[in-house]
Amino acid sequence: AAAEAEGVAEGGASKPSASAGSKRPRFSEQELNYNTLHMPIEFSRHIPHELASFLGGLLDRHALKRLGARGVEEVKQHHFFEGKVEWALLAKHKLPAPFVPDPWLVYTRDEITSFSGDQELAPHELMEQFGDWDYAGEAWGYEQELEQFVQKSSTRAILRSMQAPEGELAKLEAQLTDTHDGSETHDSETHSEEGTLNTYDSEGQFDSDGGDE
């Protein structure tokens, strides 16, 4: 208090505190919310017109007018991507990498240590088999869906291409072998060497649709 009084006596007024000299925010919280919801979006003149149009379309406040509201094709056909993206090749993972470091260059040896390498992706033809699934996810976590997939595909090559754990792979191969050996209890159908369709009902009774001979 004595030091403050001395300062007033010498300078005629006390020095303002740091908080008193701080500037007022440009917008209050209410004004900021109003601008976010109602004011038009302005882009810097340094941003290319195609990019500003693309971003403005994605940020349109009207959901029905927003870019992409009529499907993903609307986004893919925007002139921002014209001549820049091969969507068909991108879907099949056949586009070349935008950056491939040269491991033999001295100045890149330290930089490429953070790269984990290319991950092996499932072939595009295999991914199409999951087209009617709501969510493929981690296939090994859904036993019922996996068993249906095994019965549908009936091939060990697909299982190995998916890099299943050895224990799971052995279990699935055993199930697949049992299925082909006819150990299932439900009705089965077989074809004879002459091409006649022979069926066995649930009680094991033989029936042939080859007609009277």
Coil/strand/helix, residue 189: strand
Task: Report how far residue 188's alpha carbon sits from residue 164's, in angstroms, rounded to the nearest whole number.
Answer: 29
Confidence at residue 79, expressed as pLDDT on a 0 to 100 scale? 92
Max Cα–Cα distance, the chain, nearest Å: 129
Distance CA 90, CA 124 (A): 11
Q: Is 207 contained in some domain?
A: no
Domain shared by 33 and 91, yes or no: yes
How far apart, in whole angstroms, are the C-alpha atoms of residue 213 and residue 194?
13
Q: What number of other Cβ atoms are within 10 A of residue 14's Cβ?
A: 10
Residue 105, in any domain of the structure: no
Q: What is the pLDDT of residues 59-92, one digit of tens each?
A: 998 889 999 999 999 999 999 999 888 999 988 8
The answer to whether residue 211 sits within a structural domain is no
Instruction: Assess whether pLDDT exceeds 50 at residue 37.
Output: yes
Domain co-membership, 90 together with 138: no
pLDDT tens-digit profile of 138-181?
A: 544 556 666 666 666 555 555 555 565 667 767 767 776 666 55
Quick one: 88 and 34 in the same domain? yes
Last residue of a domain, one of 96, 113, 132: 96
137 and 90 in one domain? no
pLDDT band for 184, please (50, 70, 90 cuts). Answer: very low
Residue 199 domain-assigned (yes or no): no
Residue 141 included in any domain: yes
**pLDDT, tens digit (0-9, with 9 covering 90-100), for 78-131:** 999 998 889 999 888 888 887 776 666 655 555 555 555 555 666 667 667 776
Question: Has residue 145 been placed in a domain?
Answer: yes
Judgement on whether residues 33 and 92 belong to the same structural domain of the protein: yes
What CA–CA distance (Å, rounded) separates 5 from 13?
A: 9
Report if residue 12 sits inside a domain: no
Q: Whole domain around residue 35: which residue ranges?
A: 29-96
Bridge partners (DSSP) of residue 190 are 198
Looking at residue 120, the DSSP 8-state letter turns out to be P
Position 25, amino acid: P
2-22: pLDDT as tens digits: 545 454 444 444 444 445 556
pLDDT at 41 > cutoff 70: yes
Mean pLDDT of 197-213: 49
pLDDT band at 57 (very low <50, low <70, confident <90, very high): very high
Mean pLDDT of all residues in the chain?
68
Residues 90 and 125 in one domain: no
Question: 79 and 125 share a domain?
Answer: no
Residue 149 maps to a domain: yes
As for how many domains the chain has, the answer is: 2
Residue 198, strand partner residues = 190, 208
